[in-house]
Chain A
Amino acid sequence: MDKLHTMTSPVPPASSRQFSKVSGIFDAEIHASVERSAMVARMPEKYRSRCMAGYHAHGYLNFDQRGGGYRRDVESMEAASPEGIRRSVLDRYSTRFALLTGTSYEASIYPDREYCNAFASAYNGALVEDFAEKDKALLASIQLNFNDPPAALREIARWADHPRVAAIITSTASTETPGSRRYDPIFAAAAEAGLVIAYHTTAEGRSLCPPPTSAGYPSRYIEYHSALATGAIGHASSLLTHGVFARYPDLRVLYLEGGIAWALPLMWMLDQDWRRFRDEVPDLKEPPSHYLRHHMYFTTQPIEEPERGDDLLAVYEQVGLDRNIVYSTDFPHWDFDDPEHFLPSCFSQAQRDRILWDNAAALFSSKVGPLLAKEDGK
């Protein structure tokens, strides 16, 4: 055990722990704990009892981090209010903006369509009104039921002009390959509204979805959580090869907690096959790597840890250190990444700033720009 302990990254010395506070930090994922009662209050009468009973938690596979998914050093209620989030994250790290991802991204994988629609609407109301509107740093991601595109479009229309709604969130797990044309109306509306679609891993295998990997159901959390990277790989391969970004050039997507390093071998693999099989994917006018570099964004947490830190840097540079890689804490979950420690020491200050602020600020510029201007009294 002692030997293993020494393999973990040591805390860097104080001198290397300085990071620029000029730009600040954009945290692309904080899990606000939306209370069930806050959703119930926003639901039609007929759905209240089932929401209170936790219907939306059905289909779980009973895998979780031992001791719970939350950081042990954080009071469990800190993520349940905007004040707690400000106290534990925003003030502590001088975070200027944070995208709230809430407690659920599964409105598209449960069986009852109408309930899923009501669930998404109630959840969005609670997240936007109880959190995002209560703190100048907070932005919200809204849920949609991807399996009911007309209802999803109504929900987009409801929030499209809200200054603090910056993204749509759903799971990488899906009942239908995510690049399918079935979702085109949603892609079109998201692109038009300037809403980033954020795809979150960890619903793999739940409810109506296929098993978490093609090998079958895993046995425990370490197996499940590690192999979530494969869910993100498959998901990205679908969006890239189905021509979603060729059809919707303004669409941008963000992968949450799916990892990043796999994107390099995936790009190489898909580009090679694109040259071989172009007739099979007529929608693709450019090699898949082109669409990845222009449309796909990735959060760093949980950051991958190669033996050599400069290998991570080399991979990030190929995937898009200048555009595609954004920082996230995943607060208040157990595998939180601290902005002062998460990157290997070989990353320059300029590269850190790119990841901590610039890339996310550019990605969400349509919301962040006006909010910053307002803050400055312009």
Chain B
Amino acid sequence: MNDLIDSDIHVTWTDPKVFTDYLPKVWQDRFFHGCGHSQRGFALSQPFYNPLAVDQPEGCSQPDELLGFMDRHGIEKSILTNWRAPAVGNFGDHDYPARLAEAFNRWLTEHWLSRSARFFGTIVVTPRHPAMAAAEIRRAAAASPQVVQVSLSPGTLEPYGKPQFRPIFEAAVECGLSICLHAGAEGVGVSNPPSSHGWPRNILEYRVCPMTNFIAHLTSMMTEGVFTDFPDLKLAGFEVGGALPLITYLWRFDKNYKALRSECPWMRELPSALVRKHVRLGTQSSAIGEESLYFRLLESFRADEILLWTSNYPRWDQIDPSTDPHLLRGAPWRRELVARETALAFYPRLS
């Protein structure tokens, strides 16, 4: 039975020349040859060597291959993204990355979304130029009803609660799209160091940063009143450690809210209540040290209502749904939520 919805599948291209048609001539040289000898295309240097990713694909490049994977694993619908594209938010300039974002979004729509009604798309924009980002959201959402989400780079100079980002959220809500932060561009290109104590020096240390980065953006968005201004705004986190780090963080944040909420009177609900309404997290990056305790803590939060099942196919750490504890354990209603219902409610364009 094809009943799963996979909210994080990575797609890519084999020949970058597919972008020739989408880029103005002035930027084609930069895209194909880079600045000098490096940094071609979307590439901004990844800070750490990942030995496990070396021989693994960054994404699936053939629609038929992806459909085959989905059929084999009982996946009805999938939301497609690309590992590198969100880093358009980490360039120092505006015009090139904005045109690159548009090119990627057009490619995604024409090469993937138009190929199957089971494919849905996560587009990218340049958050540092909110007006251009908002215009691109409106363009892309109108171009295809299968566009469901906008990915903002997690690597920033300022957190997303700051007022300058409101036009992006306004456009997303207007178009019925969710916002997501997908791990990968923290500390990349022009962005802050990925942690508050200076640069990590090994891949384990670095891979903790997406989780703390997501928490920081979310805290900013809540306390700055983004969810008050946009009651229909939805935010997803992918590869940010799943639900448990956020749940334990809320034990502190809820308490602080009770004591300190006079600073942000526009924030009318507990952080945990705002999470339940507005925030969803991909399952794939959850570290399950001890299964019984993991599920007990998740159940206390009724986390099946905030989890989106993700495989991360076909990247090096992809999860097979037939062995994923998030789908195996518990009562049928619970599996149903994580497997599809939570995603259907979160992405109205999926139905």
Interface residues of A (CB under 8 A from B): 4, 7-8, 65-66, 172-180, 204-205, 209-223, 225-227, 229-231, 233-235, 237-238, 241-242, 259, 261-262, 264-274, 276-277, 279-281, 288-289, 302, 304-308, 311-312, 314-315, 318, 334-335
Contacts and interface: CB of A to CB of B under 8 A. Distances in A.
Interface in B222-251: 223-224, 241, 244-245, 248-249, 251
Nearest to A204: B196
Interface in B64-106: none
Given A177-B199, A214-B212, A226-B219, A219 B224 contact: yes
Interface in B181-220: 186-187, 191-205, 207-209, 211-213, 215-217, 219-220
Contact of A237 (B161, B192, B208, B252): B208
B26 interface: no
Interface of B: 49-52, 154-162, 186-187, 191-205, 207-209, 211-213, 215-217, 219-220, 223-224, 241, 244-245, 248-249, 251-264, 270, 272, 287-290, 293-294, 296-297, 300-301
A280 B212 contact: no
A333 to B, nearest CB: 12
28 contacts: A179-B205, A204-B196, A210-B192, A214-B154, A214-B155, A214-B191, A214-B192, A214-B193, A214-B212, A217-B158, A218-B159, A226-B249, A226-B256, A229-B249, A234-B208, A238-B200, A264-B244, A265-B211, A268-B288, A268-B290, A269-B207, A272-B287, A273-B203, A274-B204, A280-B203, A302-B255, A305-B252, A318-B293
Contacts of A302: 252, 255-256
A175 B193 CA distance: 11
A215 B197 contact: no
Given A216-B159, A223-B223, A261-B251, A277 B216 contact: no
A311 B300 contact: yes
A235 B259 contact: no
Given A4-B261, A179-B205, A234-B212, 13 more contacts: A180-B201, A209-B198, A213-B216, A218-B223, A223-B220, A225-B256, A229-B252, A234-B205, A237-B205, A237-B208, A268-B290, A277-B204, A305-B252
Given A262-B248, A264-B248, A279-B51, A174 B208 contact: no
A214 B258 contact: no
Interface-central residue, B187, B252, B255, B290, by most chain A CB under 10 Å: B252
A272 to B, nearest CB: 5
B255 A304 contact: yes
A219 B220 contact: yes
A233 B246 CA distance: 12
A334 B258 CA distance: 13
A213 B213 contact: yes
A234 B209 contact: yes
B57 to A, nearest CB: 18
Contacts of A231: 195-197
Contacts of A172: 196-197
A262 B202 contact: no
Contacts of A273: 203-204, 207
Contacts of A264: 244, 248, 289, 293
For the complex of A and B, list the 7 residue pairs with the smallest distance between their C-beta atoms, beginning with the closest.
A268-B289, A213-B216, A230-B212, A215-B159, A304-B251, A261-B248, A234-B195
A222 B197 contact: no
Nearest to B260: A222
Contacts of A220: 223, 263-264
B199 A230 contact: no
A261 B255 CA distance: 14
Contacts of A217: 158-159
Given A242-B202, A266-B208, A226 B253 contact: yes
Contacts of A211: 192-193, 196
A280 B204 contact: yes
A225 B293 CA distance: 28
Nearest to A268: B289
B197 A173 contact: yes
B197 to A, nearest CB: 4
Name, among B51, B155, B208, B272, the residue most crowded by chain A CB atoms within 10 Å (CB to CB). B208
